[in-house]
Chains A and B, each alone.
Chain A
């Protein structure tokens, strides 16, 4: 019998740009055979705004709020990358207290981002409850941000020479409560999450080898999930990260479970950093005097920070005027997403959301 005829050929499913689990306007064109994915193609550009070009017509300070809008869940880490690059160019060192404030804020941001990720990941896998348990914890982080910066998400808090405002006593009270609660909440939620169904869903799918991590230049938890020990906070410490005692959690196999586990452990490590920072934060000014109109000296400048998704590199070329001559980001999510098309073929449709979720993409950061 001519069975070839009866196979449904070239059945394409468009996952996105509007789909509950692409978390933004990402589109994945899946060629499927029944439940099995034959090939996939990631289509980007639905949220492209040309920000890197736009930067050339804005002054350095005007670009600050825009930095928040790339990765809106870890906005202050992106601010740090940009501010750090300018400080490097101008030769300004922020005061000690400002560095501590930056570390506390950045690590809170990282925790918030990982909590959001874990919740959304579980939501993709069909479990609703962990999402809200973790969101409750994240909500407290946002409350703290609101207390200090006035904004819950796009904070615009870092500035050249320090931060925009000092931490308030109320903030420390909230932070104390948060730190008391977060470890318990994480342990509780992990018990809820790691049921046998979850382990069946995420173990042994979406393998990324160490070679692929290097070849695709993957960073962040995706790289560390595969056992590549690369965290710029440890490898090339910036700011005052060398003062803190923390570990870089690593996975072994590089499957979705390892990437999940790495992020969950990173939350605890960030909590450790914050605890140490709060214990030893010095008194003093929270910002150095910086020029009102920033003009970088002519030249090329690069500064990198570890965001919650991986390595963020900010590259600025200055011609001495008040606008950047060229502004370029090396952002983690874009590089991390590049491996998706090689991971998907051969998996089931249900695995697509698990693998995509485990990579953790934020679309505005990819579509700049």
Chain B
């Protein structure tokens, strides 16, 4: 009996994650194109479905139908593996996200740590893609991506460490419960800002999109990818946007907490508000230069995060 309920739970969890993942991939791409369109004095997709809402599905179908091209001279095993290696961590990261007080697949004791360690694996996929493609642009994109990911992991971890010090827990449900009176963004505004900036950098999005800098490196690490393999990279990107926003919601914006509406609705409202913000930033700014990006991280963000951590620790000791 116990074994049965376990299996059912696992199946339901996987189904749930897949539903959230699919709907997000469709909705986030649609949202990005719509927001971009309206920012740029145009309408965005309008043809497929109501205001183009099904555009993502149509594009997905097109990409599935396309031939997958494996260029000559690539390292075939790595080339094939790379997109999935970049993609699967995003599914695993869903495991610890508390969608509401009851909707959470696993409330791990080290949920926060789990989330950020899993997210590092995706970088490996990007580097593999760049290395295996046997293309100079891809390689340079991959090298940039590695440098950037390693650099921006540090301010992210330092900023969430301040949260952990306040809440005294790595368990995400406890962090949300701690915020029953006030949101942590009120006591940790600097950590929140550092988190959002670093998260955008981790996502490789403008203004930090140097690994796939279109005008310099053609398409960066996924220059040689086509069809569904490209789509997998693409979906991983949009899932990651959702995930970092969900994590920011959980850590700083009170998670699923909110009046009147059911918790899950609050969770999605907050998350998509952040997703919207990330999209907005992308269409408003040009791209940084790699060396500027690095110096911004090492000379500004990391010291600031450290200072914030120091002050937080000091006040925690004081009170």
The answer to whether A and B interact is yes
Return A279 CB to nearest CB of chain B, in Å.
30
Pairwise interchain contact B286-A126, C-beta atoms closer than 8 A: yes
Q: Which residues of B contact A195 (CB under 8 A)?
A: 284-286
Q: Which residues of A contact B292 (CB under 8 A)?
A: 200-201
Q: Which residues of A contact B164 (CB under 8 A)?
A: none
Pairwise interchain contact A129-B39, C-beta atoms closer than 8 A: yes
Pairwise interchain contact A129-B214, C-beta atoms closer than 8 A: no
CA distance A11 to B289 in the complex (A): 20
- Tell whether A349 pairs with B283 under 8 Å between CB atoms, given A35-B290, A132-B40, A201-B288: no
**A136 contacts the other chain (CB 8 A):** yes
CA distance A78 to B34 in the complex (A): 40
Q: Contacting A123 at CB < 8 Å: which of B210, B215, B283?
A: B215
Beta-carbon contacts of B37-55 to A below 8 Å, as 1s and 0s?
0011110000000000000
Q: Which residue of B lies closest to A36 (CB)?
A: B291
Pairwise interchain contact B288-A197, C-beta atoms closer than 8 A: yes
Pairwise interchain contact A133-B41, C-beta atoms closer than 8 A: yes
Pairwise interchain contact A126-B207, C-beta atoms closer than 8 A: yes
CA distance A192 to B39 in the complex (A): 11
**A327 contacts the other chain (CB 8 A):** no
**B306 contacts the other chain (CB 8 A):** no
Return A256 CB to nearest CB of chain B, in Å.
12
Pairwise interchain contact B289-A350, C-beta atoms closer than 8 A: yes
**B103 contacts the other chain (CB 8 A):** no
Pairwise interchain contact A127-B291, C-beta atoms closer than 8 A: no
Interface residue tally of chain A, by bracket? 20 to 34
Q: Contacting B209 at CB < 8 Å: which of A35, A126, A352?
A: A126
Return B299 CB to nearest CB of chain A, in Å.
13
**A290 contacts the other chain (CB 8 A):** no
Q: Which residues of B contact A13 (CB under 8 A)?
A: 136-137, 140
**A351 contacts the other chain (CB 8 A):** yes
Q: Which residues of B contact A258 (CB under 8 A)?
A: none
Q: Which residues of B contact A11 (CB under 8 A)?
A: 136
**B150 contacts the other chain (CB 8 A):** no
Pairwise interchain contact B218-A350, C-beta atoms closer than 8 A: no
Q: Which residues of A contact B291 (CB under 8 A)?
A: 35, 348
- Tell whether A192 pairs with B209 under 8 Å between CB atoms, given A20-B218, A133-B40, A350-B216: no
Q: Contacting B40 at CB < 8 Å: which of A122, A128, A201?
A: A128
Beta-carbon contacts of B152-178 to A below 8 Å, as 1s and 0s?
000000000000000000000000000
Return B277 CB to nearest CB of chain A, in Å.
16
- Tell whether A126 pairs with B206 under 8 Å between CB atoms, given A197-B288, A349-B216: yes
Q: Which residues of A contact B283 (CB under 8 A)?
A: 128-129
Q: Which residues of A contact B289 (CB under 8 A)?
A: 200-201, 348, 350-351
Q: Contacting A127 at CB < 8 Å: which of B137, B144, B210, B286?
A: B286
CA distance A204 to B119 in the complex (A): 37
Pairwise interchain contact B140-A349, C-beta atoms closer than 8 A: yes
Return A205 CB to nearest CB of chain B, in Å.
9
16 A-B pairs with C-beta separation under 8 A: A19-B218, A20-B218, A21-B215, A122-B286, A125-B287, A127-B206, A127-B287, A129-B284, A132-B42, A192-B284, A193-B286, A197-B287, A198-B286, A201-B289, A201-B292, A350-B289
Please give 14 more A-B residue pairs, beta carbons under 8 A apart, in addition to A35-B140, A349-B140, A350-B287.
Answer: A13-B140, A20-B218, A35-B290, A35-B291, A126-B209, A126-B215, A126-B287, A127-B284, A127-B286, A129-B283, A129-B284, A193-B286, A195-B285, A197-B288
**Which residues in A have some Cβ–Cβ distance to B below 8 Å?**
11, 13, 19-21, 35, 122-129, 132-133, 136, 192-193, 195, 197-198, 200-201, 348-353
**Which residues in B have some Cβ–Cβ distance to A below 8 Å?**
36, 39-42, 136-137, 140, 144, 206-207, 209-210, 213-218, 283-292
